[in-house]
Chains A and B, each alone.
Chain A
């Protein structure tokens, strides 16, 4: 089976930097996704890491360490609109390719 762990809730200040961690245990790892979901809306894709290291995309960066089963999403220059749920999802290749989601981290950005 798979086990994905991320904090339930985080708060941060506008303009600051926040790091959202995700740890996972899975067999046949084939990549890790981060999605953003605003309340009442569809989850939207942020990043996909399959190799170790840091992927930077504007204000958002995602890091992966396969040996540690660990990833983080780094959000810089936080804006109020970044308040949302951030979902970590792991792609395993055991059988069919099914992304498995964690419970999500609710990020609250305050002025």
Chain B
């Protein structure tokens, strides 16, 4: 079974540019989560999809961040325009159930904004 895959693994962009990160969850997993880890800090929750619906987006830092999950399969996280403080590792995770059970994480997309 393929795990959670994320693309790109590393992206270097300049302030003001746009970046789109992609996550392919494990097939059949309705729940998809985006997290971000800024260097030296904890992994922080961004948002949670159940199928194509945003269940909770309370962790999204501001309106420069836009997440979508069309058709309830893969998800994208767009940052536009990127700022220096957006640098970090963006993790995607999926799970079959939301109330119990483990999350399966991707290896993360490292974003560096110069």
Residues of chain A touching chain B, judged by Cβ–Cβ distance below 8 Å, are 4, 30-31, 33, 35, 40-45, 48, 50, 87, 93, 95-104
Alpha-carbon gap, A102 to B103, bound state (A): 15
- Determine if B43 and A87 form an interchain contact, defined as CB atoms under 8 angstroms apart: yes
Chain B residues with CB under 8 Å of A95's CB are: 56
The total of interchain contacts (Cβ-Cβ below 8 angstroms) comes to: 54
Alpha-carbon gap, A42 to B102, bound state (A): 13
Q: When A33-B102, A42-B91 are in contact, do A98 and B56 touch as well, CB less than 8 Å?
A: yes
Please, could you name 19 A-B residue pairs with CB atoms under 8 Å apart, sorted by A? A35-B105, A40-B107, A42-B3, A42-B105, A42-B106, A42-B108, A43-B91, A50-B100, A93-B99, A95-B56, A96-B56, A96-B98, A98-B33, A99-B45, A101-B35, A101-B42, A101-B44, A102-B42, A104-B43
Alpha-carbon gap, A102 to B104, bound state (A): 17
- Determine if B99 and A30 form an interchain contact, defined as CB atoms under 8 angstroms apart: yes
Q: Which of B42, B91, B108 contacts A103 (CB 8 A)?
A: B42
Alpha-carbon gap, A62 to B100, bound state (A): 17
Question: Which chain B residue lies CB-closest to A4?
Answer: B42
Q: When A98-B45, A98-B48 are in contact, do A42 and B99 touch as well, CB less than 8 Å?
A: no
Tally of contact residues, B, Cβ under 8 A: 24
- A57 to chain B minimum Cβ distance, whole angstroms, is 13
Q: Which of A45, A87, A100, A104 contacts B45 (CB 8 A)?
A: A100
Chain B residues with CB under 8 Å of A87's CB are: 43
Interface string of B26-49 (1 = CB under 8 A from A): 000000010100000111110010
- Determine if B42 and A48 form an interchain contact, defined as CB atoms under 8 angstroms apart: no
Chain B residues with CB under 8 Å of A30's CB are: 99-100
Question: Which chain A residue lies CB-closest to B110?
Answer: A40
Chain A residues with CB under 8 Å of B35's CB are: 101
